[in-house]
Structure formats: C-alpha cells, structure tokens
Structure 1
Amino acid sequence: LGVYSLKGLLKHQVPWWFAEKYQVRVVDGNGSLLASKSKIDASATTLSYPVSFDPPGYGMVLQVTAYRGADNLAQTLIATLIIILAAAVFWSLWAVRGLIQRRLSAEQALRSEYAFRKAMEDSLMVGMRARDLEGRVTYVNPAFLQMVGFSAEELIGREPPMPYWAPEEMERTLLLHNKVLEGKAPHEGFEIRLMRKDGSRFDALIYEAPLIDADGRQTGWMGSIIDVTARKHAEEVARQQQEKLQVTARLVTMGEMASTLAHELNQPLAAITSYNAGCLNKLDSGNFNALQIREALGKLAVQAQRAGQIIRRVHDFVRKSEPKLAPCDLAEVIDDSVGFIEAAARNRGVRIVREIQGMRPELMADPVMLEQVLLNLMRNGIEAMNGLPPERRRLTIKLGQVEAQMEIRVIDRGPGIPPEVLEKLFTPLFSTKADGMGMGLNICRSIIEFHHGRLWVENNPEGGSIFVITLPIDRQ
C-alpha cells in the first residue's frame, strides 16, 4: 500500500507546456479542490473536461480546463483581421472588375465614336482644314485632299504660303489668311481661287470658325471649303442666257412698236423733205431771202436731230451689250422711256402723266435695262386700259425717295389683277395674254434684282394696278 501526494503527482506528471494552456486540478465528489497544477483560475465560461478516478478514486475527478488567455485573443484578432482583409481584397477585386468593365465600355464607345466621326468626315463632300494659331495646317480631310490633289503628308505642318494658293491670287489670299488669324474673317464666308497640284484652278467658298478645345480655349481655326466652280459656271451660263433673253425681249418690244416708231420717224423725215423742197424752190426761182433760207435750214437741222435721236434710242435699246453700271438719273430714264412709247399711247388715247417728287439723287444702274423694265410695265398698263372711256385712260409714272431707296410707281386705271393671277404674275411662262410668252415680267424682276432692288404689284384702290420698283441709292 503506497501513499501519493496529489500535488506532487500533478507537478511531475503534467508537462509544463500543457499546464500553460490548461488548468489541471483534482476535486472530490463535492467539488472541493484537492490539488491543482496552476494557481490561476480559469474562467467559468471556458471549456472544461472532467475525468473520473473511479474505481478506486472514491469520487475524485481530474478536471482539465482551457485558459481563455492573451494567446486566444491574439488568435481571434488575427483571424478577424484576416477575414476583414479578405473581405477588403474581395471588395477591391469587385470594384476593380467594375472599373475595368466601365473602362472597356468607355474604350468601346470611344472606338465607335471615332469610327463614326471618321466615317462621317470621309463621306463629307465639304473639305475640312484645321490650322493652329500660327497658321500651320494640323488636319485635312479626304474631301479637301481630293480638291487640291495633295496628300496629307504634303500639307500637315506646312506654313504659308500654301502649295494650293494660286500665284495670281497670292496677295489677296495672304491678306485673307491674316484676317482669319486676327479673327476678322467674314462670317458669311469668302470666295477665293485655289490651285490643284496639277496646276488647274478652281473656285472655292471658304467659311472659317474658331477651333475650341475641351477647356474652352481656342487652339486654332477650322475651315470648311466648298468647290463652287460648277455653280459659278452654271451661274455664268444662266447670266448669258438671261442677257440673250433680255435682248430678245427688247427686240420683241421694238417689233411691237415698229409701226409707231415708223410713224414717229416719218414726221421729222416729212418735215425735212418739206423744208428741203421749199429751199430748192426758192433757190430755183432766184427770188429768195437769205434769212428765210437760213431759218428753213435751221428747222431742217432740228428735224434731222429729232430723227437721229429716235434712231439712236432704238439702237441703244436693241443692241446686245454687257450691263454697264453708271451714275444714273431716274427722271431722265423715265423721260427717255416715255419718249419711246408716247406716240403709241396717243394712238390708243392714253395720256401719260409724270410726277417727279423731291430730290433726285443719282444711283448706280444700267439705264438701258431700266428703260426695258419701264417700257414693259407702261405697255402692259396701256393695253390694260383698252375699252375704258377716254377720260379714264391715264397712265401715271411717279418717282420719289423713300428712306434710302428710290421708288417708281407705274399706275394704270385698268380692271386690275385677280388674286389668283396676282400670285403667279412673275412666274416664267405664265401670261394673261393669248399670244404672250410669259417672260416679260419675269425678265423685269430679274433686271431689278440685278440692281439689288425689288419689283412687285398691288391693286389700285381707284381701279387698276400699281407696279412698284424700289432701287437702293447708296449701292456701290
């Protein structure tokens, strides 16, 4: 029979490292402490594991209890930090994934936008050319390259003078170039003649606008270039056709007035013949007075001058010539026009009244072209009054100044113009006459618009029509 010390047994049989982590003690059946490996009490909430000594321990129990010490707390903190860091890494990866997706979407949108813009620029028929603030070319689109015949490498980075500037336009082109860089380019654009690489010329209409970056700063100028060579050629052909049509209209007018002009010309010729015969008779009789002969010859010269004036007016009116703008007195134009048609008006019983009001400033115009307009309007007015009582057959020509314009009104007392006809009166090939070509009034409006004026018609409250012409006074 041996006796063992429980304290000694625990001291020698329980390893130290085990005692560092666990409290080892022996208790009796009532829970009273008999022996313990550690003097530090473990928490009641920690894990505990009992081992019974029965038999033959008489109710003694070996109780092992784990410490909840600093090591466990550190491990818990480390585990918690690891979990937090893992969550942060996962969140970062998720955020990076979203950022990458957005970046890829933005890059795809940028590529699509670039492709769309490039396709749009490549399909433009308008030439685009960008220059920096010093005038160097920084960008050209395919349409501009096709216009001038140069490659992009030959133009980008070039400074004035540019290889597509025409030598004969060099001075004017350089002046316009400097105006653009100074911000003084005309907003309505400007036309200039440019040169292709092969030396051929073409007319271009250029619009310049500031080139602004994303920060709102101007970095240069963007020019839009339109080749207007075909348009100008078409305008020139149309102008030539219009001139031919105007000459034809003047010839038609003279043809319609031929009998009247022949009658008007016959009067001075008959007077010349009469004065000449009288002089010859006096000379043959030998009974003459030199003063009488001189007086007769003077009257003969007056009639010859009158006939010459009639022929000169007809010649000036029908001859083909380019429009010649010169300082012009509209009152004189009206007098010459009335002189043409006055005889025809008398034959129809129409009285022509001229009303010249206020000042008579001169304006730049072609008097022959204006005479053509007035003759056409007066002839229409005279014809419109056929069938009226003689006392109502009056054609009034009014001339006056309205602000910065001269205004001519041709007023007749005819039946007027129905509203449905009024809208189409100036339309080409539309005529109210059975044998009319429908070009007279259209040509008249074209002539007035050539002079930067306006021509329209309105009904006369007293009966008849009023054709109104306005022409600017200060046009250069």
Structure 2
Amino acid sequence: MWTDTLNSTQVPAEVMRKWQEIVDLLADILNVPSALIMRVEPPNIKVFVSSESKGNPYEPDEAACLNTGLYCETVMNTRRPLIVPDALQDEAWKSNPDIKLGMISYLGVPISWPDGEIFGTICVLDRKSNEYSELYLRLLLQWRDVLQADLRSIATMQREIEQREAKIRRLVDANIIGIVTWNVEGQILDANSEFLRIVGYDQHDLLSGRVSWVDMTPPEWRDRDALTISELKNKRAVQPYEKEYIRKNGGRVPVLIGVENLEGTEGQGVAFVLDLTERKRAETEARESERRFRNMQTELAHANRLATLGQLTASIAHEVKQPITAALLNTQTAQRFLTRQQPDIEKAKKAIDRAVLNGMRVSEVVDRTHALVRKEPVRKDRLEINEAISEVIGLTRGEALKNGVQVRTQLAEGLPVIQGSRVQMQQVMLNLIVNAVEAMSQMSDGRRELLISTQAEADCVLVAVRDSGPGLPEDAIERAFEAFYTTKSSGLGMGLSICRSIVEDHGGQLRAAANVPKGAAFQFTVPINSDCPA
C-alpha cells in the first residue's frame, strides 16, 4: 500500500529542475544524444525526464508497455547496471525497440525508493557503438545516489504529510462537537459525522450537495446568519450564538455555533457546532421542578457541563485550530527545505518535529474536552488534584486571554492523593474559573487577575479561586449557592448549587467570601480521608 502511494507521489518542481540539469550534464559530458530518467508506472514505463540535447528522440511523458524488451526493463528486473556496447552486434538485443529509434548502445543503472521498490532507471543512449568506460559508470552511479537521496526526502515528506492529515482527520472524526466547512454562498463543503448526526443527514447527502447551510436554517434565523457573514468580513471570528437547524426529517434542533474564517481561503469558513438539545431539555425540566432535579443531580450536572463548555466553544475551537494551522505551516516549511536544490534535511526534520508537537497539543485539548463532555457514572478514584486543575486551566486559557484575564497559579507541591471523581472535581473548577472570567469581563478598568491555589490543610486539600472582579454583595454571598439564584442576565443559576453538592458529596465544603483588596474568593476543601472536618 505504501509503495502504491509512492508510485503516485508527485516529484516537486524544484527537484524536477535539478534532475533536468543532471540529465543535460550527463548527455553533455558523455557526448551522447540522449540521457534519461525513466519511471515505472505499471503497466508502463515512461520517460520521466529527458535531456534537452541535440538529436534526442525521447520526449518527456512518452510511455512504453513493459515486457517489450527495453534496455531499462532488464536493469529494473536484475537491479544491476547494464552496458550494451552495440545492440546490432548482440543477438540478445537485436529486437530491442530502442533500435527503431537508432539507439544501439546503452548504459543504465536502477533507481530505488527507500523501501527497496524500483522507481525506474537513469541511463544514457547513443546512436553509435559505445563501450562506456568504468569512469562513466561510476559517474552514473554517483548521480543515481543523488536521485535516491531526493527520493528518500520525498518519501519522508509524503509519510509525514499523510500522518499529519490522518491525525487531523482523527481529530475531526473524534466527533466531540460538529465541525463543518462552508462558503459564503451557503454550501457545505465538508462536515464530520457529529454535524451530520445533529442535522440528520448522511455522507451520501453531503457528497450529492443536498446539505445546504441556507436550506437548513429556519427563515427567522437567516438574518442572524447574514450578520455573522458580515462580521466575518471585518474580523476573523464572531462570538458564539444560539440558533436552530431544520433537520432532514423536518424537525428542528437547537445548536450553539462558533464561526471563524478559514485561513488561506477566500470566502470560506469553519464552524464548530454543539447540539443543545440536551441542554434545552434540562433547562425546561429544571424550571418545571426543582425537586425533580434535586433527585437527578447527575443528569443536571452533565447538562451544566455542556452549558459551560458551550460558552467555551470559540476558545476550544481556537485552541484546536491554532496548532493545526501551526502544524500545516511547519509541514510546508519542511517541504520547502526538502525541495531546495540542496535539501536541508536537518531543518526539515526540526520543522516536522514542531508539526508533531502541535498535533500532540491538539490531541491533548480534544482529550480534555472529551473527558468533560461524556456522560458516565460517578466513580471516585485516587486523584492528583493539581493535575486535574491544570487540565481545566489549559481548557479555559483561550477564554481568559480573550477577556484580558491574567491567570496565576500557586499549586503546592507534594500534595497527598485524594479520593474523588476527576470529572466532577474538574466541573467544579470549570464553573468557578468561567464565572470569575465572566465577572471580570464586565469591568471597564482595573487589572483582571485570577489566582488559583492549592495547599494542604490539616487532613484536607484546600483549593481556592480568587478574582479581582466586582465581587459579590454581602447579601448575595450565601444566596449564590441557592438553586436558580443568579446575578447574570442569562443562565439557570444552577452552576454553584451543583458545585456545592459535588463538594459536599466528596465530604468537603464550598464557601464564598470577599477577596482582598477586591473581587470574590471561592474555596473548597476535599478530605484526604473520611476523618477530615467539613
């Protein structure tokens, strides 16, 4: 399979120009009418590069069938150099097709890919009898080595490109959120399985062109989409917004969508789509009955995670898109280094290494998001709290930067391992960090600082989140943990209530207080063992 890929690999233009110089020099030095690089493309062998020498009858891309007795076939079959001084005087070569072109003498050597498969030959031909000295054979072998070095670089580049594309495709196919590329005319150019699931279409519909951004958008939402397109002309991204899609079956699905321009293209963009069906259902049911959701806490906690991650859609998209773009640029840089007249393998390797690191960075972001999105039974295991907190900080980094918030950490070293649910502890941190960032984003002046700290205290681990925002009014400090109480213009007011329930379920306590000199401070304890006081 890899050999099939290499056989169809295009040789870069810079390398082709170098190879043209090689065959021209060979024809000139050996004083022959024809110097060729042949490439096998089963069932044919074709003239890949032909010298621009006087009297050369071979044209580039001219092909001949294999098994016709060509000189080059013998070279490829034996994988050894071949010298034919005069085919007219040799019974074995009298029927050679090249004689019809007047080429009666031949010197050629095989060219191989790095895996040993035959690429073709490099050869010279003459209209007169020619013994071709040992010196000429050595010269041809030297040029052959140059060509094979180029093929090694091409094969390495091809392998890295395919690995990068496969990694990016795996990220798209991870199906954590819907991902779709589109153009300003409303056409869907590509979409992953999660997006197709959301709107109820399949790959066949996508390939046939039946999936249209405009057709799927209800009339009342089209003005909002038009505004998004207009905003994208002035800036690369717009704030995520809620809308609905018309599914293939005629039903509607609520979504949260973040949109960005696609770099390097004109009039195209990428959208990240989160299905809000579960969140909307949870909101409706939560308003109907507080008691009901006091008894289905796990379900509501999951919906709250989805809602919080929904707010972070643009930041998560940026965290994924930035290293993908960097990986692409590094791969293109490696390609340029490899296709120079004198390939710079070392610099190309460093560029490819950077591309791999960026791919790993994307994978880490996807893994963190996936862990928080999936719904699974609560399980308390041994947990390193600092590591869990650091992952959430990484996930919310883009949101903090977007809102001008400086995040500092004071995570104590050597903290004891606790018993707890990693996902639930991360949900608590996610809510507290997002709330703090959102509170500070409303400030018109002053420094926006977020300090996250951990420390050992008695038989507990103490975690604190302190911000420099407007703080909480005195009468709102305790009410902040009441279900459905909120100081925001939107939201259910369930986040802090769920956080307190999670902490108390772990045997700890969550408190709020004023920060000094300004802002709010939230801190919670998690016991190292069951004897820890709340």
Q: TM-score, normalised by structure 1?
A: 0.48
Task: Give TM-score scaled by structure 2 length.
Answer: 0.43
Which structure: larger Rg? 1
